[in-house]
């Protein structure tokens, strides 16, 4: 079977596929007992990301259980700052920690060595394409420059990214340099993933929702467009999904402005607005991950609402953000069956 018949690729080409292909953000993760077991074996979280044997294994775990239509490379958006020597660590119960970057350090960031540092991740992509069933699409990804920059500046996760917003106002030149720098490094990384066998790539802008209108244009849209232009200049047929979480009405022109093939939607995006966005091309989303925790009617109703409103156009069924550790694996089975039952 060739890549052209993988359902997600068909949708990314603008076709309506029924039932829609389905995968879940963070589908390989702590809600799965087999993930927790491999994770314990790996040592640290980054050791898992850089160990192709184990990263291939955890990527395949949810595919074996649920036959999702896509596998997403197991890695993290913070491997880029790690490759830039920002001392990334994942501490149990604390989320990520990095050395916070100061304005005067930004121009000393060195892109040399990034691709060597990330070569185990590219090796994972290569092996996955060999191991995956031919009908399953392989997705690569990176973080959007704004979202990656928020972690590099604060040195940890924050609820509203106040440190990065403040930094952007106080140090506009250093900040603009950082976004462009991250865009260029990320574009090279995505090209390497595509060359290793990724059918499509997703750009995660998980913190887009804290930006005002002007900042969204400069810090979210522009750098993502820079990545996409750079990737397409080298790989013209590259398929790209852009996910700007929390962007709300600012998503109106996001596809046209970024040139993404598909746009990811979080669960707060009204389905009527999503249907308007879908008139211009494929959308991905947008079930509330809490419906997967709740299960039962809450889950079934959420699936039906999305399929009723978006099922007759190009749709990739997904959550509106990553699945959470407390989700019951049986509810994920119910989700996949619920989506697939509705096909014609
Ligand atoms: O989707 C997948 O299954 C692929 C793997 C993947 C991970 N992180 C694995 C992971 C992907 C695509 C990501 C993206 C990512 N990482 C984002 C963007 C998407 C989003 O969720 O908003 C962000 C912001 C990060 C940064 C990050 N990584 C944080 C804030 C954390 C800690 C929070 C948490 O959930 O613990 C991580 C850790 C992380 N990345 C885990 C996994 C499975 C859990 C860590 C563990 O197993 O110990």
Q: Is 39 a catalytic residue?
A: yes
User: Is residue 149 within 8 Å of residue 178, measured between CB atoms?
Assistant: yes
Q: Is 276 a catalytic residue?
A: no
Q: If one looks up domain 3-341 in CATH, what number appears?
A: 3.20.20.210
Is the confidence at residue 180, as pLDDT, over 50?
yes
The stretch 312-340 carries a mean pLDDT of 98
The stretch 14-23 carries a mean pLDDT of 98
Looking from the CA of 93 toward its CB, the CA atoms found within 13 Å total 0
The stretch 114-131 carries a mean pLDDT of 98
Whose C-alpha lies nearest to ligand 1, atom 31? Answer: 95
Is the confidence at residue 3, as pLDDT, over 50?
no
Task: Give the pLDDT band (50/70/90) at residue 343.
Answer: low
Q: Is 26 a catalytic residue?
A: yes
Ligand 1 atom with least separation from CA of 59:
3
28 in ligand 1 pocket by Cβ < 6 Å? yes
- Residue to substitute in 23, 77, 154, 289 for testing ligand 1 pocket (most ligand atoms within 8 angstroms of CB): 77
pLDDT given for residue 342 in this prediction: 78
Task: Give the pLDDT band (50/70/90) at residue 173.
Answer: very high
Ligand 1 atom with least separation from CA of 30:
47
Looking from the CA of 168 toward its CB, the CA atoms found within 13 Å total 22
| Residue 144 CA from chain centroid, whole number | 9
The alpha carbon of 26 and the centre of ligand 1 are apart by a number of angstroms equal to: 7
Is the confidence at residue 1, as pLDDT, over 60?
no
Share of the chain above pLDDT 90, in %: 96
Closest CA to 284 of 257, 268, 303, 265: 265
- Catalytic residue from among 76, 82, 205, 266: 76
User: Is residue 80 within 8 Å of residue 189, measured between CB atoms?
Assistant: yes
pTM exceeds cut of 0.95? yes
Residue 80 and residue 114: Cα distance in Å, rounded?
Answer: 8
The stretch 228-241 carries a mean pLDDT of 98
Is the confidence at residue 62, as pLDDT, over 70?
yes
Long-range contacts of 327-332 (CB under 8 A, 24+ apart): 327/31, 327/289, 327/292, 327/293, 328/31, 328/292, 328/293, 328/295, 329/31, 329/32, 329/33, 329/65, 330/295, 331/292, 331/293, 331/295, 331/299, 332/24, 332/27, 332/31, 332/62, 332/65, 332/66, 332/292
Closest CA to 168 of 230, 216, 224: 216
- Catalytic residue from among 35, 66, 151, 254: 151
Give the pairing of strands 262-264 and 137-143. Answer: unpaired
User: Is residue 316 within 8 Å of residue 11, measured between CB atoms?
Assistant: yes
The alpha carbon of 174 and the centre of ligand 1 are apart by a number of angstroms equal to: 27
Does 19 sit behind a cis peptide bond, omega within 30 degrees of 0 on the bond before it? yes
Ligand 1 atom with least separation from CA of 78:
26
Domain boundaries, the chain: 3-341
The alpha carbon of 123 and the centre of ligand 1 are apart by a number of angstroms equal to: 20
| Residue 57 CA from chain centroid, whole number | 19
pLDDT tens, residue by residue, 272-297? 999 999 999 999 999 999 999 999 99
Please return the burial class of 160, using the count of CB atoms within 10 Å of its CB with bins 0-12, 13-18 and 19+: exposed
């Amino acid at each position: 079977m060739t890549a052209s018949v993988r359902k997600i690729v068909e949708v990314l080409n603008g076709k309506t596929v029924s039932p829609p292909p389905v995968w879940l953000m963070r589908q390989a993760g702590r809600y799965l007992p087999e993930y927790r077991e491999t994770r314990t074996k790996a040592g640290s979280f980054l050791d898992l990301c850089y160990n192709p044997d184990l990263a291939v294994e955890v990527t395949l775990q949810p595919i074996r259980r649920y036959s999702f239509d896509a596998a997403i490379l197991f890695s993290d958006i913070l491997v880029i700052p790690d490759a830039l020597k920002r001392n990334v660590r994942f501490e149990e119960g604390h989320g990520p920690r990095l050395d916070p970057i100061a304005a005067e350090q930004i121009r000393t960031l060195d892109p040399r060595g990034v691709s060597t540092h990330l070569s185990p991740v590219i090796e994972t992509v290569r092996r996955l394409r060999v191991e995956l069933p031919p009908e399953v699409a392989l997705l690569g990804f990176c973080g959007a420059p704004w979202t990656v920059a928020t972690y590099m500046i604060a040195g940890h996760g924050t609820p509203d990214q106040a440190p990065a917003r403040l930094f952007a106002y106080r140090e506009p030149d250093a900040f603009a340099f950082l976004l462009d720098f991250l865009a260029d490094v990320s574009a090279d990384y995505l090209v390497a993933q595509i060359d290793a066998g990724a059918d499509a790539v997703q750009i995660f802008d998980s913190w887009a929702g804290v930006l005002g209108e002007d900042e969204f244009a400069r810090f979210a849209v522009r750098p993502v467009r820079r990545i996409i232009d750079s990737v397409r200049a080298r790989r013209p047929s590259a398929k790209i999904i852009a996910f700007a979480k929390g962007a709300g009405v600012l998503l109106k022109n996001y596809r046209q402005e970024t040139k993404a093939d598909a746009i990811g939607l979080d669960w707060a995006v009204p389905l009527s607005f999503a249907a308007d966005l879908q008139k211009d091309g494929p959308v991905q989303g947008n079930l509330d991950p809490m419906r997967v925790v709740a299960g039962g009617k809450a889950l079934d109703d959420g699936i039906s609402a999305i399929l009723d409103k978006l099922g007759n156009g190009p749709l990739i069924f997904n959550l509106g953000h990553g699945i959470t550790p407390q989700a019951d694996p049986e509810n994920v089975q119910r989700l996949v069956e619920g989506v697939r039952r509705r096909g014609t």
